[in-house]
Chains A and B, each alone.
Chain A
Amino acid sequence: MRDASAKDGTARLIVGPFNRVEGDLEVRLEVADGAVRAAFVSSPLFRGFERILEGRDPFDALVIAPRICGICSVSQSQAAALALAQWQGLAPTANGRIATNLLVAAENVADHLTHFHLFFMPDFARAAYADRPWFAAAEARFKAGRGTSARRLIEARATLMHVLGLLAGRWPHTLAIQPGGVTRRAEPRDQMRLLATLGAVRATLEQTLYGAPLERISALADPRELEAWRALGPDGDFRLFLEIAADLDLTHLGRAYDRFLSFGAYPGEEGPHYPAGTFADGVLGGVDEAAIAEDHTFARMEDRAAPHHPFAGSTIPDGFDETGYTWCKAPRLAGQPFETGALARQFMDGQPLARALVAAGGGNVFSRVIGRLIETARTLIAMEGWVRALEPAEPWCAHGTNPSEGRGAGLTEAARGALGHWMEVRNGRIARYQIIAPTTWNFSPRDAAGVPGPLEAALVGAPVQEGETTPLSVQHIVRSFDPCMVCTVH
Chain B
Amino acid sequence: MTVQSRAHGFNVLWLQSGGCGGCTMSLLCAEAPDLLTTLDFAGIRLLWHPSLSEETGTEAVELLGAVARGDIRLDALCVEGALLRGPNGTGRFHVLAGTGRPTIEWVRDLAAVAEHVVAVGTCAAYGGVTAAGANPADACGLQYDGRREGGALGAAFRSRSGLPVINIAGCPTHPNWITETLMLLSAGLLGADDLDAYRRPRFYADHLVHHGCPRNEYYEYKASAEKLSDLGCMMEHLGCLGTQAHADCNTRPWNGEGSCTRGGYACINCTAPEFEEPGHPYLATPKIAGIPVGLPTDMPKAWFIALSSLAKAATPERLRRNAVSDHVVMPPTVRDIKRR
Contacts and interface: CB of A to CB of B under 8 A. Distances in A.
Interface stretch (B46-54, B151-159, B161-169): B46-54
A48 B260 contact: no
Given A17-B50, A19-B55, A46-B137, A169 B263 contact: yes
Nearest to A106: B255
Contacts of B60: 17, 19
A183 B256 contact: no
Interface string B8-27: 00000000111111111110
Given A19-B60, A397-B228, A122 B54 contact: yes
A19 B84 CA distance: 20
Interface stretch (A172-180, A204-212, A353-361, A406-414): A172-180
Interface string A154-182: 11011101101111111111111010011
B171 A67 contact: yes
Interface in A4-40: 14-20, 22-26
A392 B327 CA distance: 9
Contacts of B56: 15, 17-20, 470, 475
B50 A145 contact: no
Interface stretch (B65-73, B86-94, B178-186, B289-297): B86-94
A169 B22 contact: no
Contact of A47 (B23, B139, B229, B276): B139
B258 A17 contact: no
Interface in A64-79: 64, 67-71, 73
Interface residues of A, number: 89
A143 B92 CA distance: 34
Contacts of A64: 129, 132, 276
B34 A56 contact: no
B36 A52 contact: no
Nearest to B52: A145
Contacts of A146: 36
B265 A176 contact: yes
A158 B28 contact: yes
B262 interface: yes
Interface in B311-333: 326-327
Contacts of B265: 169, 174-176, 183
Interface in B227-272: 227-229, 249, 253-266, 268, 270
Interface in B56-109: 56-61, 82, 84, 86-88, 90, 92-100
Interface in A262-293: none
Nearest to B281: A57
Contact of A63 (B16, B53, B172, B282): B282
Contacts of B326: 185, 395-397
B240 to A, nearest CB: 11
A486 B23 CA distance: 13
B28 A154 contact: yes
A70 B54 contact: no
Nearest to B25: A70
Contacts of A396: 229, 326
A109 to B, nearest CB: 14
A119 B172 contact: no
A51 B258 CA distance: 32
B190 interface: no
Contact of B18 (A42, A45, A145, A317): A45
A114 B254 contact: no
A151 interface: yes
Interface string A193-225: 000010000000000000000000000000000
Given A45-B18, A182-B229, A486-B20, A25 B132 contact: no
B285 interface: no
- What range describes how many residues of B lie at the interface? 35 or more
Given A47-B139, A155-B34, A183-B263, A17 B254 contact: no
Contacts of A155: 31, 34
Contacts, number: 277
Most buried by B among A24, A42, A319, A486: A24
A247 B57 CA distance: 25
Contacts of B22: 67, 69-71, 73, 172-173
Contact of B260 (A17, A24, A170, A172): A170
Name, among A64, A119, A184, the residue most crowded by chain B CB atoms within 10 Å (CB to CB).
A184
B36 A165 contact: no
Contact of A16 (B98, B254, B327): B98
Contact of A154 (B35, B95, B129): B35
A17 B103 CA distance: 11
A55 interface: yes
A126 interface: yes
Contacts of A57: 281-282, 284
Nearest to B227: A399
A212 to B, nearest CB: 25
B283 A165 contact: no
Contacts of B50: 17, 19-20
B30 interface: yes
A59 interface: yes
A118 interface: yes
B136 interface: yes
A462 interface: no
Contacts of A469: 57-58
A69 B260 contact: no
Nearest to B130: A47
A52 B256 contact: no
B229 A181 contact: yes
B163 to A, nearest CB: 27
Sorted nearest first, the 5 A-B pairs with minimum C-beta distance are A169-B263, A70-B22, A165-B255, A16-B97, A16-B98
30 contacts: A15-B57, A16-B97, A18-B56, A18-B98, A19-B48, A22-B51, A47-B18, A47-B82, A54-B133, A57-B281, A57-B282, A59-B281, A59-B282, A67-B20, A67-B129, A143-B54, A145-B46, A161-B29, A165-B256, A166-B256, A169-B263, A170-B260, A171-B26, A172-B26, A174-B263, A176-B264, A178-B228, A183-B228, A184-B229, A396-B229
Given A19-B51, A170-B260, A399-B227, 20 more contacts: A17-B57, A17-B60, A18-B56, A18-B97, A19-B56, A54-B134, A68-B20, A70-B20, A71-B20, A71-B21, A144-B54, A164-B258, A165-B255, A169-B261, A172-B26, A181-B229, A183-B228, A319-B88, A396-B326, A470-B58
Interface of B: 16-26, 28-31, 34-37, 46, 48-61, 82, 84, 86-88, 90, 92-100, 129-130, 132-137, 139, 171-172, 227-229, 249, 253-266, 268, 270, 276, 281-284, 326-327
